[in-house]
Homo-oligomer: A and B are copies of this chain.
């Protein structure tokens, strides 16, 4: 097992200026593993769903090479549900409904077989839950990445700092990096985050690309200029999943290879926003993702000779 992810598997209902979805499959864990599956066929997920969760979706994950034995299904439980509405500029959204349900008292249990996974992705969950997963690993993974959000900074900052100490990479967006550090400059913010624990930091800037920091090295990945963003839900998780899928498959955590992983994550995320929910990701192949990675190369390469 090369890559283990912990993250929510959930129901979403999404409203954007372009339309409205029914209750569809969502959740960080869903997007991360789906995105990673374009690169890595050997992965597993630890999560929790309710008895109302469709059997076919779990089967679909298995068909993509995702080991789902770590998904708990507590008796009588209902699946986590989130509903949100995006504003016209697609850069901000209102949460309309959050029903934690089974996620409310999720106690992650990492199956024995996954406890030696060399790559570990901690999807956006409470920092306590994230740390519980790390503590169950038998061998310290080669590379641990984590996502988080403003919400945990507001209500669980101490626990968040504790979890940060045990990871190699924090993946956040610009707003989150600024809130966590109190710094406007993303360069300064990244330095402060590195001092909190993770030696590597990715700051996502949505339509403005992403920055990768490690020591004094910085990589600025462009974003593909799009004519239309249909639904931004899951883009951040797709980035993380594409990144970790690429990194774990190539098994190389050098800065040069992390650059490529950033492009891999950006490429998957750029597909994700083209349709509602996971729809677009289900249509595309690894070849499509690789072709789009080439488009990122075209977009940003120049020489000074």
Contacts and interface: CB of A to CB of B under 8 A. Distances in A.
A222 B300 contact: yes
A89 interface: yes
A226 B185 contact: yes
A77 interface: no
A80 B89 CA distance: 37
Q: In which size bucket is the chain A interface?
A: 35 or more
Interface of A: 88-90, 184-188, 205, 208-209, 211, 218-223, 225-229, 256, 259-260, 263, 293-294, 297, 299-304
Nearest to A228: B185
In the complex, the count of this chain's copies comes to 2
Contacts of A228: 185
Closest 8 interchain pairs by CB?
A220-B222, A208-B208, A187-B225, A259-B302, A220-B299, A188-B227, A187-B227, A185-B227
Contacts of A185: 225-229
A260 B305 CA distance: 9
A209 B208 contact: yes
Nearest to A222: B220
